[in-house]
Amino acid sequence: MFTCLHPVRERDQSHYAYFLKYHEFLGQLVEPVAINRWSKFIINRTLPGLFMGVLLQLITNRSGENNPNRYYMLDFVKKKISEGSLRTDDFIPFLEEAYRVQAARTASEAAFRDELGLRVRQFTPL
């Protein structure tokens, strides 16, 4: 972990003054993650961000577009979907890997994978 403190701020000066004590209790200052991987509404909370991450980072960079910033424009993305050059199958493998359900070993993982596919199809209706 890397922390960059500003030496003029009073709060940051206290980190310097109590450096050892601060680092001794640093772990207690970090809050635990509030999301359980298999909770009921996990897809609602995480899929929009992962979907956009796949679109704006992976698909955009592999598209060969002259201006990849066009993927930030809704009309451009809708056009790509209607042309068929942006498909559900472009997203699902990446998302299944991100959620680690590409090779579902349990019934709950298979159900999660099916729900994931259903939700992605809602984003890219074709």
Q: What is the mean pLDDT of residues 26-52?
A: 79
Q: What is the pLDDT of residue 122?
A: 84
Q: What is the Cα–Cα distance from 86 to 55, expressed in whole angstroms?
A: 9
Q: What is the pLDDT of residue 64?
A: 82
Q: What is the Cα–Cα distance from 71 to 42, expressed in whole angstroms?
A: 26
Q: What is the pLDDT of residue 43?
A: 87
Where along the chain do its domains lie?
A: 1-30, 35-123
What percentage of the chain reaches a pLDDT higher than 70?
93
Q: What is the mean pLDDT of residues 35-50?
A: 81
Q: What is the pLDDT of residue 84?
A: 85
Distance, C-alpha 122 to centroid of its chain: 18
Q: What is the Cα–Cα distance from 17 to 40, expressed in whole angstroms?
A: 45
Q: What is the Cα–Cα distance from 59 to 77, expressed in whole angstroms?
A: 11
Distance, C-alpha 37 to centroid of its chain: 13
Q: What is the Cα–Cα distance from 6 to 107, expressed in whole angstroms?
A: 51
> Does 3 or 87 have the greater pLDDT score?
87
pTM of this prediction? Answer: 0.65
- pLDDT tens-digit series, residues 53-91: 999 988 888 888 888 888 888 899 888 888 888 888 889
Mean pLDDT over all residues of the chain?
A: 84
Q: What is the pLDDT of residue 35?
A: 66
**pLDDT of 126 above 60:** no
Q: Given CA atoms 95, 96, 100, 101 in this order, what sign does their dihedral have?
A: positive
Q: What is the Cα–Cα distance from 30 to 19, expressed in whole angstroms?
A: 17
